[in-house]
Amino acid sequence: MKKFRVIVPIIIIVAVTIILVKILMPGKTSIQEKILNKSNSNIITNTLLVNNDNKLDENYKPHKSDVPNIPFIDNATDEEKQMEEVASKAVEKLFKEAKEEGIDFLGTSAYRSYETQKEIYTKKVISDGLKKANEYVAKPGHSEHQTGLCIDVTNKDRWFVGSTKEAIWLAENAHEFGFIIRYPLGKEDITGKSYEPWHIRYVGKDIAKKIYENDSTLEEYIASKN
């Protein structure tokens, strides 16, 4: 009986501990499972944070991809022309409006698989060294291109720097179509990447407008919501 009285409290303590652990530290849900949850798929997909600290699984692919009806550079691969469907439709509108205002864009690279990013990163390290590679090229699994929600663009001169008319137009108007300049100038310590005026990321019109008006980043927006 004495032994029984000792064991019962121990069992109770263990059971309570397990319950508390499950409540305070719920099991992680994979990114794929979250995206496929139809009740909040758009919110999670559009604000999916991928950076140096947040990695995608090597098997991750866009939930529903499409090829936007926009001009691409000649050497863009079929893979690179793919985008998440909602982002694809949005970038079509962006290109159309820009052209009507005398701005001509060309798509260079949208979706990239884990393996493709691995090849690009490895080649950059070999050619330019590890430090330079990490400034501009994401490690495999840490690239937004794997989400299908972003696209790199250029102009006819293939010279897309912040002072060009195309880059200025993009910075001032991308949010109207649900895109943000993902790696803005002066935010390198937050994004972990050097300034890229050519890289736009789809987050939806409402969020893009807030990020644009606050001169912030996706990291800052998400932090403000937590």
The catalytic residue positions are 196
Query: What DSSP string describes 164-223?
Result: SHHHHHHHHHGGGGTEEEEE-TT-HHHHSS--EEEEEEE--HHHHHHHHHTT--HHHHHH
Structure token pair of residue 28 = 């992680």
HSE of 100 in the Cβ direction (CA atoms, 13 Å)? 6
CA dist., res. 53 & res. 49, Å (int): 9
